[in-house]
Amino acid sequence: MAEHLLEVEHLKQYFPVREGLFGSKPLKAVDDVSFTIDQGETLGLVGESGCGKTTVGRSILRLYVPTEGTVRFEGEEITAKNIHNLRKKMQMVFQDPYSSLNPRMTVEDIIGEPLDVHKMYSGKKERREKILYLMDLVGLNAEHATRYAHEFSGGQRQRIGIARALAVDPKFIVCDEPVSALDVSIQAQVINMFEDLQEKLGVAYLFIAHDLLVVRHISKNIAVMYLGHMVETAEANELMDHPIHPYTESLLSAVPIPDPKIARQKHRIMLEGDVPSPLHMPSGCPFRTRCRYATEKCAQAVPELTDRGGGHMVACWNK
């Protein structure tokens, strides 16, 4: 048995972007990212828009072919040759419940499509029984089966997407900001459903999100990304209560607090400058152009993740 369910080592994802008439330059969407996820665990992946979170998830599942690095699932390296067989064990819930469902297919056909692809039933009766079981699992009624996606609300559509991901009984699901397009009241329902499904089925998640409070609620561990680099990883409560990296400190200072007395005493850390272009990255540490602790050393080399105690990993020269 493998030590971890999923192992990502030195993952890089570069996209060629044309410059001028004949030249091209690599856009470094993900640059040397490593992490592990255990069976039945959730790793929350946070960072601002454009930092490479979604690209990490898609590269793991080979929706994008990685530029460099290795991804192992249950000890087996994922390649172009074995990815079809591993698709049954690894699935994805997409961010937009409006564009990720085929408008020409009924709910029954949408959820049943993975069963058809992997031939996971012996007859029409077994297929329908599995679909109705999955619908019940995510809180949809049996009479919804013959309807089309446009007849549902955003929250219901996302439930259809989750049922589709669960159809092949996966061990690991990439959840790509699955609640960001939903109303706040619906977000809580969907998050609680993810937790219930994990408890019932033992499935592991890579949970990609912007909202740190949501991530803290659902995740065992949290990883923070900035411009394609992993800058800090730790156990969820440890990272939220004792952030070390200046970028993580800034992110957490922006989290709203419901108590006005505590909120007034809280100091908001404002970052100066703009986010650099991934096409024209600064030398050394990618965060140095906005960091109040930056020194000459920061411009010379990219800091590696180092353990600051208890598995709290930080990539910073000065903290």
Among 63-67, 267-271, 305-309, whose mean pLDDT is lowest? Answer: 267-271
Residue 67 has pLDDT above 90, yes or no: yes
Total structural domains within the chain: 1
Q: What is the mean pLDDT of residues 191-206?
A: 95
- When pLDDT is averaged across residues 179-207 and rounded to a whole number, the result is 91
The answer to whether 99 and 184 are in contact (CB under 8 A) is no
Give the HSE-up count for residue 305: Cα atoms under 13 Å, Cβ half-sphere: 18
Residue 194 lies in a domain: yes
User: For 209-254, what is each residue's pLDDT tens digit?
Assistant: 988 888 998 999 999 999 999 999 999 999 999 999 999 999 888 7
Top-confidence range, 45-49, 130-134, 254-258: 130-134
Q: Residue 164 domain-assigned? A: no
Task: Report DSSP state, residue 101.
Answer: S
Q: Average pLDDT in the 178-187 region?
A: 85
| Inside any domain, residue 115 | no
Q: Which residue has the higher pLDDT, 318 or 110?
A: 110
Give 210's Cβ-side CA count (13 Å radius): 10
When pLDDT is cut at 50, 70 and 90, the band that residue 96 belongs to is confident
If you average pLDDT over residues 42-51, what whole number do you get?
92
Average pLDDT over residues 285-307: 91
Q: Among 19-28, 58-67, 251-260, 310-319, where is mean pLDDT lowest?
A: 251-260
The tokens for 252 are 């957490």
Residue 221 domain boundaries: 6-89+170-314
Q: In the predicted model, is pLDDT for residue 307 greater than 80?
A: yes
Does 6 score more than 70 pLDDT?
yes
Predicted pLDDT of residue 236: 94
The mean pLDDT of 84-95, rounded to a whole number, is: 92
pLDDT band at 258 (very low <50, low <70, confident <90, very high): confident
Q: Where are the alpha helices (DSSP H) in the chain?
A: 53-60, 83-86, 107-117, 124-137, 154-166, 184-201, 212-218, 236-241, 246-253, 260-265, 296-300
**Arithmetic mean of pLDDT, 148-157:** 91
Q: Give the pLDDT of residue 91.
A: 95
Considering the domain boundaries, does residue 117 fall inside one?
no
Whether residue 52 lies inside any domain: the answer is yes
Return d(Cα 221, Cα 36) in angstroms, integer. Answer: 10
Structure confidence at residue 1 (pLDDT): 62
Q: What is the CATH number of the domain that holds 69?
A: 3.40.50.300
Any domain includes 206: yes
Is 99 inside any structural domain? no
232 three-state secondary structure:
strand
Contact (Cβ atoms closer than 8 angstroms) between residue 319 and residue 244: yes
Q: Per-residue pLDDT tens for 14-39?
A: 999 988 778 888 999 999 999 999 99
- Identify the band that residue 263 occupies on the pLDDT scale cut at 50, 70 and 90: low
pLDDT over threshold 80, residue 255: no
For residue 223, being part of any structural domain is answered with yes
